[in-house]
Amino acid sequence: MSQHYIPERAMFIFAHPDDIEFGVAGTAVKWARGGCDITYVVITDGNVGSHDREMTREQLAVIRRTEQSAAAEVAGVHRCIYLGYDDGMLEPSLALRKQLVKLIRLHKPNVVVCGDPTAVLFGGRINHPDHRAAATAAIDAVFPASEMHLLYSEFEEEGITPHKVNYVYISTYTAPDFYVDISATINTKLAALREHKSQLGDWDPEERIRQRGEQVGKNVGLKYAEGFRRVTLQAVVVEEEPELETTVATSE
Ligand SMILES: [Zn+2]
């Protein structure tokens, strides 16, 4: 099924260093291995994520960017863009939307992966407000802003033209309608997550990550999966028929 679709280009837009690794890095690893050109956009520096009284925001921002870049490398992702917003203060502002539109138009992803803007609660837990703000900013940038040429037309002077995204993959483990099989990539997902040493401390995330992967996967008979709600803006025609794609390529 279409869970095997590997986009040519994808952009992952999330609030904090480590959000991608906790949530969707199994998908990123899978796509990177399949040749997808992936951009991570990390909106805040995660610069309040410490209980160490000696730590400053500036020091923490440097540590967290370093950890995030290392995690991306483990996943096979070589482009990490940091927007440098303050952790804990994020709003889905028009200024942020404009920045994201510019990045989408520049890198032209087929798929944007983001969090769930409607998730105030996740099961019995409160979703971080930055996660909601980042997700809202991401989907608002995708549609319709990114594709409207009269909006932010000043980018055209820099050669940055409008772009229509094919799909948005909204990460969720509570109510997915679309699944990516991460059975072959969950170990690398864990290795990437372990790069966030400042956040994990002595805690080993393996059990939680495996449990969640199993919980999502069992809905569709997969050992481990990541779950999404998938929004189609413009379907990629060849995705259901990879064999046909090969036939077409040889006959040309
Ligand atoms: Zn987070």
Cα-to-centroid distance, 64 and ligand 1 (Å): 12
* End-to-end Cα separation, the chain, in angstroms: 26
State whether the Cα torsion 39-43-216-220 is positive or negative: negative
Q: What's the chain's average pLDDT?
A: 93
**Residue ranges near ligand 1 (ion) with Cβ within 5 Å:** 16, 19
Cα-to-centroid distance, 19 and ligand 1 (Å): 5
As given in the structure block, the two tokens for residue 231 are 């929004």
Residue 208 phi, psi (nearest 5): -65, -40
Residue 114 phi, psi (nearest 5): -150, 180
Cα-to-centroid distance, 50 and ligand 1 (Å): 13
Write out pLDDT tens, residues 151-185. 999 999 999 999 999 999 999 978 899 999 999 99
Cα-to-centroid distance, 239 and ligand 1 (Å): 31
Write out pLDDT tens, residues 33-43. 999 999 999 99
Report pTM. 0.93
Which ranges of the chain would DSSP assign to H, the alpha helix? 19-23, 25-33, 57-75, 94-107, 129-142, 186-193, 197-200, 206-217, 242-251
CA 154 centroid distance within chain: 27
CATH of the domain at 58: 3.40.50.10320
Cα-to-centroid distance, 18 and ligand 1 (Å): 7
pLDDT on residue 239: 53
As given in the structure block, the two tokens for residue 169 are 């993959």
pLDDT on residue 241: 52
Q: Which residues of the chain have pLDDT under 50?
A: 1, 244-252
CB-based contacts of 61, cutoff 8 Å, min separation 6: 45, 46, 47, 84
Write out pLDDT tens, residues 55-71. 999 999 999 999 999 99
Q: What is the DSSP letter of 181?
A: E
Report the SS3 class of residue 12: strand
pLDDT on residue 124: 87
Identity of residue 34: G
pLDDT on residue 157: 96
pLDDT on residue 2: 60
Domain membership of residue 67 as a residue range: 2-251
Cα-to-centroid distance, 163 and ligand 1 (Å): 28
How many structural domains is the chain composed of? Answer: 1
Cα-to-centroid distance, 131 and ligand 1 (Å): 6
pLDDT on residue 67: 98
pLDDT on residue 165: 98
For the chain, give the percent of residues with pLDDT over 90.
Answer: 89
Which ranges of 76-183 would DSSP assign to H, the alpha helix? 94-107, 129-142
Cα-to-centroid distance, 186 and ligand 1 (Å): 19
